[in-house]
Amino acid sequence: MTETIIRIPSQELEELIAQKLLAAGLKEAFAAEMAEHLTYADRRGIHSHGAVRVEYYAERIAKGGLTIDPVCSFEQTGPSCGVYHGDNTVGHVVAKRGMEEAITLAKETGIGIVGIKKMGHSGALSYYVDMAARQDMVAMSFCQSDPMVVPFGGAENYFGTNPIAFAAPTNNDRPIVFDMATTVQAWGKVLDARSKNNAIPNDWAVDGLGNPTTDPYAVKGLLPIAGPKGYGLMMMVDILSGALLGLPIGKHVSSMYEDMTAKRDLGQLHIVINPAHFTEIEAFKAQLSQMIEELHQIKPRHGFEEVLYPGELSERKAIENEEKGIPIAKQVYDYLVSDAVHHDQYENANAFAEK
């Protein structure tokens, strides 16, 4: 039976999330920023990185798996690059700080590359590149994650879902923004399917025998997107956001669930390019808007009503959800309005949140 979905105003959702994070022990400023990020994800339809994650974060915060009073710093290591030291605090906060530094460098020198070293899970990568695009920058972001993907040709998990995000400005207030896991689907999508008691497509994941499965509870390994091509991309992401920062890689990346008291030492890399250092900025933005219009004019094939640009569906969902309210699973809402901080749901679980 499919879980009941309810809609609530974005401001209410943001406030409920912030209150729960405060109850878990997070400081007010960090709770507010984290809640804003998670609501952004739900607003754009990225429910795998929205409110469904709050109980996990609350459990980790309450058990000391994130630094509550961090000593963070930005170390500029070259004219256009640097490292933001996150002290294993909330990933959403320090990844945002790192993007702010990268944007500053790009405005000054034409490019800004900032690695965020030692942080917690940082949520939807589109949030960070969107920040840059709204300041007329082109941006990419890469982030490693714990091993839950069967490499092409293999029968054991090694890499994480290792996402990539991209954004670029247009000549209106809607930049091109998209992000993607280097798997056919992100683990958070499987988690979202579990929360709604929905089946998953049979090309997302495999069971313990390596066979395709539609049961989100039977998942033991995710699959790379486009076979060897996705496999190569996830290796690239691990190198850029792990090895490049002197952090653990591949199967050595810390578990999301195994020990909720332990810091995770995760890494992320932002690359920001200032188009004004390469071309005339308004002409660049107009050209991207032209690209969008030309894509819209392409005749759709059978079964499709129109051709959308990458990320446009999320943009449309954001507009709709802001008007109608953000849809979330009722069981998630019930948790948010309850007095419970968490239910010891994730401690000692494997990469797929199973005990």
pLDDT at res. 186 = 75
Domain that residue 279 falls in? 5-287+311-337
Q: Residue 214 maps to which CATH number?
A: 3.30.1370.60
Q: What is the mean pLDDT of residues 97-106?
A: 98
Instruction: With respect to residue 349, please indicate whether it lies within any of the assigned structural domains.
Output: no
Burial class (CB in 10 A: 0-12, 13-18, 19+), 157: buried
Give 40's DSSP letter.
Answer: H
Q: H or E stretch including 12?
A: helix 10-24
Tokens of 146: 């714990």
Q: H or E stretch including 81?
A: strand 81-85
Instruction: With respect to residue 89, please indicate whether it lies within any of the assigned structural domains.
Output: yes
pLDDT at res. 166 = 98
CB 148 within 8 A of CB 222: yes
Write down the pTM of the prediction: 0.93
Task: Give me the number of domains the chain comprises.
Answer: 1
| Weakest-pLDDT range from 32-46, 228-242, 316-330, 340-354 | 340-354
From 49, 92, 121, 342, active-site residue: 121
Which residue shows structure tokens 């943009």?
315
Q: Inform me whether the pLDDT recorded for 10 exceeds 60.
A: yes
3-state secondary structure of 137: coil
pLDDT at res. 1 = 46
Instruction: With respect to residue 303, please indicate whether it lies within any of the assigned structural domains.
Output: no
1/199: higher pLDDT: 199
121 catalytic per annotation? yes
Instruction: With respect to residue 351, please indicate whether it lies within any of the assigned structural domains.
Output: no
Give start and end residues of each alpha helix (H) in 268-311: 281-296
Answer positive or negative: Cα dihedral of 62, 64, 65, 71: positive
Q: What is the mean pLDDT of residues 241-265?
A: 95
Q: What is the mean pLDDT of residues 178-185?
A: 92
In the chain, % of residues over pLDDT 90:
85
